[in-house]
Chains A and B, each alone.
Chain A
Amino acid sequence: DIQMTQSPSSLPASLGDRVTITCRASQDIGNYLRWFQQKPGKSPRLMIYGATNLAAGVPSRFSGSRSGSDYSLTINSLESEDMAIYYCLQHNEYPLTFGSGTKLEIK
C-alpha cells in the first residue's frame, strides 16, 4: 500500500499567516493527489485536485504544489474560516490512502 506521510499533525497559526502542509508519498502517485478540508461534524470538502488544481468555489488563497514525492497545500493570508483539519488523499492506485491529517488552529 502507498503510505502518505503528512506533516505537521498540528499547526498553530495566526490570522494572516501563510501556512504549508505537506504529504510525502512512499511510491510514485503522479499527480493523483487531492486535498480535503474537514470541519467538526462535517463531511470532507475537496480543496485541491490533481495536486495543483483549485476545486470549484475554493478561495484563491489556497494552492497546491508538488516537488518530487512531496505534495504541499499552502494557504496564504489565513482566515478564521480556514481553521479545520486537512487531509491529503492519493488515488493513483488501490487501496486509496489518506494522510493522517493536519489540525490547523489559531495560535
Chain B
Amino acid sequence: EVQLQQSGAELGKPGTSVKLSCKVSGYNIRNTYMHWVNQRPGKGLEWIGRIDPANGNTIYAEKFKSKATLTADTSSNTAYMQLSQLKSDDTAIYFCAMMGYGYFDYWGQGVMVTVSS
C-alpha cells in the first residue's frame, strides 16, 4: 500500500524557516514527481511546485520561487519542502502529493504551518 506520511504541525515565527517532510512507503519516489500544494484557511488549493527525485529537477509556481525550496532524499524515500522568510500569509495546510499517469494519485495527510510571533 502506498502511503505518504507528513511531518507534524509547525509553529514558526515571522522571518524564520520551516522544513516539512513527506516520507513515502510502498513506492519508489525515483519513479514519480513529488508535488506540493497548499491551502490557506478556508481557501482553495494552490500548487506550489514539484520535484523529480531522480535528478533533483524542480519547477515552481512563480509566487513560490523565493519562498519554497524542494528537495528529495531517495535513500530515505523522503521529499522535503523548506519555507523561508515566513510571513503570516504562509499560514496554511501543506500537502505533498504524487500525481502521475492515469489514476496514479496519492496525497499526504497535510501539515498545518502556523506563522505567529
B95 proximity list for chain A (CB < 8 A): 43-44
Cα–Cα, bound, A13→B4 (Å):
34
Q: Which of A50, A94, A101 contacts B102 (CB 8 A)?
A: A50
Verify A91–B46 contact, CB threshold 8 A. no
**Structural contact, A98 and B46, CB atoms closer than 8 A:** yes
For residue B107, give the distance in angstroms from its CB to the closest CB of chain A. Answer: 4
CB distance from B33 to the nearest CB of A (A): 10
- Complex-state Cα separation, A100 to B49, whole angstroms: 18
A101 touches B109 (CB 8 A): no
Nearest to B4 among chain A residues (CB) is A43
The count of chain B contact residues (Cβ–Cβ below 8 Å) is 22
With A43-B95, A87-B44, A101-B45 already in contact, the answer to whether A95 and B105 are too (CB < 8 A) is: no
What residues on A are CB-neighbors of B99 within 8 Å?
34, 91
Task: For B46, list chain A residues within 8 Å (CB).
Answer: 98
CB <8 Å contact, A96 and B103: no
**B47 proximal to A (CB < 8 A):** yes
What does the 1/0 interface line of B31-46 toward A look like (CB < 8 Å)?
0000101000000111
Please determine whether A44 and B102 come into contact, CB atoms closer than 8 angstroms.
no
Contacts of A96 in B (CB 8 A): 35, 47, 50
List the interface of chain B (C-beta within 8 A of A): 35, 37, 44-47, 49-50, 59-62, 95, 97, 99, 102-103, 105, 107-110
Chain A interface residues toward B at CB < 8 A: 1, 34, 36, 38, 43-46, 49-50, 53, 55-56, 87, 89, 91, 94-101
